[in-house]
């Protein structure tokens, strides 16, 4: 509540510009309630590793299993552990509501930033206009995919936008050390929570350093941010990094193995290489490319120009600021505009070069309208209060809202308010005691590890070809354990509706792992993660001729 408290007390002195804290609290609770009733996200990451990893950490499965979620089994799991802790204690809809609370704070964060820009550039701000701009950003297409989801990418966006808002005063200057320290702790925490928040961290650091006036202020800000960020990041990364180091001699196993040379890690592997642009020119034009071909960044139905508009606006603002500097023409609020435009671009370029996965920079789409607003104010030199400018803003927003809508995402509705977040009816669970269970195929199944007997040993087989090299040197551990034992073996897989996926998966198991199964012996596993697009199966396997084992 630090952000809303600050907005109400420190900035909310003018009732024409302030939003009462009661209104923000009502918004946060309403969004949480909305998230509780919305069908939950059961898409790939959720069913593959988001649930499994938290359960695995809290049950010390790293010493018992063999990467049930393939390479994703080793992603830093503190956030996932918190989610699993909630799942064990609360009904599913309440889990969604709790996880939506930080996400709801994105809206006041965007409002605060928008109002600070208007005040810094023009000396005034209109509350309804700032709320409108903030809402346009909040309703970015990609953000819909993170509603009622346990994926933590919305938390990263909320932390980044909230940290920016905390770091700037109403007049556009850098905030005091206390607020800066809180913002740094938040940014360090989300970086420790998930390494893909690195672009946000770089953008935040550049924002603070540019906004600080003078070398002394810049040094003080850098020290505060470094100290706060390091402490919170270390708290969330060092414990698990130590586990990976002691197990595999690589604290980020299996990634970056060229630095650590773990014998179980790959010689070289980049999980995001297929998405990155080529060269400097490719980097510069990439926002135009993925805006109209979103499959490149992991989405098949994105139709949102917010980030592209922000990209063009940020470049235009930097050009205008450079021209003013050459002409020695001072402009109120110029430093804040420079800091925000530069931070946006630095974060964007870092994201494109490192990941280029939509949800890892969803805040970029949300900040797009804010940057467009800043450009309009910079060009008009007046607050957006005139009837003409209001009509222009509304006209520009119409196509954005017209094309805004929920992305195609796998979701499962709640049957009742007391339903657990995840459940499954395992057929004959006693036969899986002390068995090997292999989550098989391209589609995710590792979430079901939470429903099988704890004595079972879980692994993964027939993974996606793209991810296969990451654990090529690790996978023999499972094969050796499996073939050295006479414990029963089962494959768990997802079969899409209208397809004969089990025959294909069983054939690949026989070819790759010399494990033989028959499709007629497979049984359905009813689970509340079903979404009318297929079902999960468990199939008994037999070891083939030992002479032909892989």
- Residue 11 is predicted with a pLDDT of 39
- Does residue 200 carry a pLDDT above 70? yes
- Does residue 10 carry a pLDDT above 50? no
| Residues recorded for the chain | 550
Lowest-confidence region among 29-33, 218-222, 393-397: 393-397
327 φ, ψ (degrees, to nearest 5): -85, 0
Answer yes or no: are the C-beta atoms of 143 and 163 closer than 8 Å.
no
- Residue 445 is predicted with a pLDDT of 96
CB burial of residue 358 (10 Å; 0-12, 13-18, 19+)? buried
- Residue 6 is predicted with a pLDDT of 44
Task: Grade residue 299 by pLDDT with cuts at 50, 70 and 90.
Answer: confident
Lowest-confidence region among 8-22, 151-165, 265-279: 8-22
- Residue 189 is predicted with a pLDDT of 98
Comparison of pLDDT for 481 and 499, the residue scoring more: 481
- Does residue 12 carry a pLDDT above 50? no
Residue 43: C-alpha distances to residues 365, 445, 500, 505 (Å): 21, 11, 21, 20
What is the C-alpha to C-alpha distance for residues 123 and 118, in angstroms, rounded to an integer?
Answer: 7
- Residue 332 is predicted with a pLDDT of 84
Sequence-distant (≥ 6) Cβ neighbours of residue 473 within 8 angstroms = 263, 264, 265, 266
Task: Grade residue 528 by pLDDT with cuts at 50, 70 and 90.
Answer: very high
**Could you tell me the maximum CA-CA distance found in the chain, to the nearest angstrom?**
82
Query: How many helices, marked H, and strands, marked E, lie in the chain?
Result: 21, 8
- Does residue 7 carry a pLDDT above 60? no
Task: Grade residue 500 by pLDDT with cuts at 50, 70 and 90.
Answer: confident
Task: Grade residue 8 by pLDDT with cuts at 50, 70 and 90.
Answer: very low
Task: Grade residue 379 by pLDDT with cuts at 50, 70 and 90.
Answer: confident
- Residue 400 is predicted with a pLDDT of 67
Q: 204-237: per-residue pLDDT in tens? A: 999 999 999 999 999 999 999 999 999 999 999 9
- Average pLDDT of every residue of the chain: 91
- Does residue 281 carry a pLDDT above 50? yes
Sequence-distant (≥ 6) Cβ neighbours of residue 238 within 8 angstroms = none
Q: What is the bridge-based pairing of β-strands 523-525 and 40-41?
A: unpaired
What is the C-alpha to C-alpha distance for residues 195 and 60, in angstroms, rounded to an integer?
Answer: 22
- Residue 325 is predicted with a pLDDT of 87
Q: 100-158: per-residue pLDDT in tens? A: 999 999 999 999 999 999 999 988 888 988 999 999 999 998 999 999 999 999 999 99
What is the C-alpha to C-alpha distance for residues 78 and 384, in angstroms, rounded to an integer?
Answer: 44
Whose tokens are 């949800």? That residue is 359
Lowest-confidence region among 15-19, 232-236, 346-350, 434-438: 15-19
- At residue 245, the 3 state secondary structure works out as helix
Sequence-distant (≥ 6) Cβ neighbours of residue 291 within 8 angstroms = 304, 305, 307, 308
Answer yes or no: are the C-beta atoms of 540 and 488 closer than 8 Å.
yes
- Does residue 407 carry a pLDDT above 70? no
Lowest-confidence region among 262-271, 412-421, 478-487: 262-271
Segment 283-312 shows an average pLDDT of 90
Lowest-confidence region among 366-370, 406-410, 450-454: 406-410
- Residue 399 is predicted with a pLDDT of 67
Q: For residue 221, say if its preceding peptide bond is cis, omega within 30 degrees of 0.
A: no
- In DSSP terms, which residues pair with 493 in a beta bridge? 537
Segment 342-354 shows an average pLDDT of 97
What is the C-alpha to C-alpha distance for residues 499 and 118, in angstroms, rounded to an integer?
Answer: 56
Segment 172-185 shows an average pLDDT of 96
> Which region holds residue 458: left if phi is over 0, alpha if psi is between -120 and 50, else beta?
beta
Whose tokens are 């938040």? That residue is 186
Q: 235-259: per-residue pLDDT in tens? A: 999 999 999 999 999 999 999 999 9
What is the C-alpha to C-alpha distance for residues 369 and 359, in angstroms, rounded to an integer?
Answer: 18
What is the pTM (predicted TM-score) of this model? 0.93
- Residue 276 is predicted with a pLDDT of 84
- Residue 460 is predicted with a pLDDT of 96
Task: Grade residue 396 by pLDDT with cuts at 50, 70 and 90.
Answer: low
Comparison of pLDDT for 546 and 428, the residue scoring more: 428
Give the residue from 14, 11, 8 showing the smallest Cα distance to 26: 8
């Amino acid at each position: 509540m630090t952000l809303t408290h600050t907005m109400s007390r420190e900035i909310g002195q003018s009732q024409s510009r302030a939003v009462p804290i009661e209104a923000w609290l009502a918004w946060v609770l309403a969004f949480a309630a909305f998230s509780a009733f919305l069908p939950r996200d059961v898409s790939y990451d959720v069913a593959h590793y988001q649930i499994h990893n938290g359960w695995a950490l809290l049950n010390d499965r790293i010493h018992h299993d063999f990467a049930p979620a393939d390479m994703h089994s080793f992603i830093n799991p503190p956030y996932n552990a918190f989610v699993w802790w909630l799942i064990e204690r609360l009904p599913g809809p309440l889990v969604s509501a709790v996880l939506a609370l930080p996400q709801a704070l994105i809206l006041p964060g965007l409002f605060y930033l928008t109002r600070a820009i208007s005040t810094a550039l023009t000396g005034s701000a209109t509350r309804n206009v700032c709320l409108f701009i903030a809402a346009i950003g909040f309703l970015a297409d990609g953000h819909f995919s993170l509603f009622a989801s346990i994926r933590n990418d919305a938390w990263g966006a909320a932390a980044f936008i909230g940290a920016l808002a905390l770091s700037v005063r109403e007049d556009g200057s850098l905030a005091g050390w206390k607020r800066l320290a809180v913002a740094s702790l938040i940014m360090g925490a989300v970086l420790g929570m998930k390494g893909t928040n690195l672009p946000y961290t770089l953008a935040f650091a550049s924002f603070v350093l540019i906004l600080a006036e003078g070398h002394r202020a810049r040094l003080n800000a850098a020290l505060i941010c470094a100290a706060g960020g390091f402490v919170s990041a270390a708290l969330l990364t060092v414990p698990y990094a130590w586990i990976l180091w002691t197990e595999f001699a690589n604290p980020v196993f299996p990634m970056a193995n060229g630095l650590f040379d773990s014998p179980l890690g790959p010689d070289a592997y980049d999980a995001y290489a297929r998405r990155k642009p080529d060269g400097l020119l490719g980097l510069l034009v990439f926002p135009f490319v993925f805006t109209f071909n979103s499959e490149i960044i992991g989405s098949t139905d994105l139709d949102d120009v917010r980030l592209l508009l922000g990209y063009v606006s940020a470049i235009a603002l930097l050009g205008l600021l450079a021209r003013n500097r050459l002409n020695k023409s001072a402009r109120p609020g110029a430093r804040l505009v420079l800091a925000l435009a530069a931070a946006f671009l630095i974060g964007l370029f870092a994201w494109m070069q490192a990941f280029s996965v939509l949800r890892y920079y969803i805040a970029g789409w949300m900040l797009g309208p804010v940057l467009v607003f800043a450009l309009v104010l910079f060009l008009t030199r007046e607050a957006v209060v005139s009837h003409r400018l209001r009509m222009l803003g509304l006209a520009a927003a119409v196509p954005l809202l017209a094309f805004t809508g929920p992305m195609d995402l796998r979701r499962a509705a709640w049957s009742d308010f007391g339903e657990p977040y995840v459940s499954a009816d395992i057929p004959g669970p006693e036969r899986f005691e002390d068995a090997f269970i292999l989550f098989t195929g391209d589609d995710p199944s590792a979430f079901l590890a939470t429903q099988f007997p704890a004595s079972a040993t879980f692994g993964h087989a027939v993974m996606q070809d793209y991810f296969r090299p990451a654990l090529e040197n690790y996978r023999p551990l499972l094969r050796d354990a499996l073939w050295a034992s006479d414990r029963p073996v089962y494959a768990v897989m997802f079969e899409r509706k209208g397809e004969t996926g089990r025959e294909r998966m069983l054939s690949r198991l026989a070819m790759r792992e010399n494990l033989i199964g028959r499709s007629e012996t497979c049984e359905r596993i009813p689970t509340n993660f079903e979404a009318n697009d297929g079902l999960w199966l468990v199939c008994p396997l037999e070891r083939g001729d030992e002479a032909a084992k892989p």
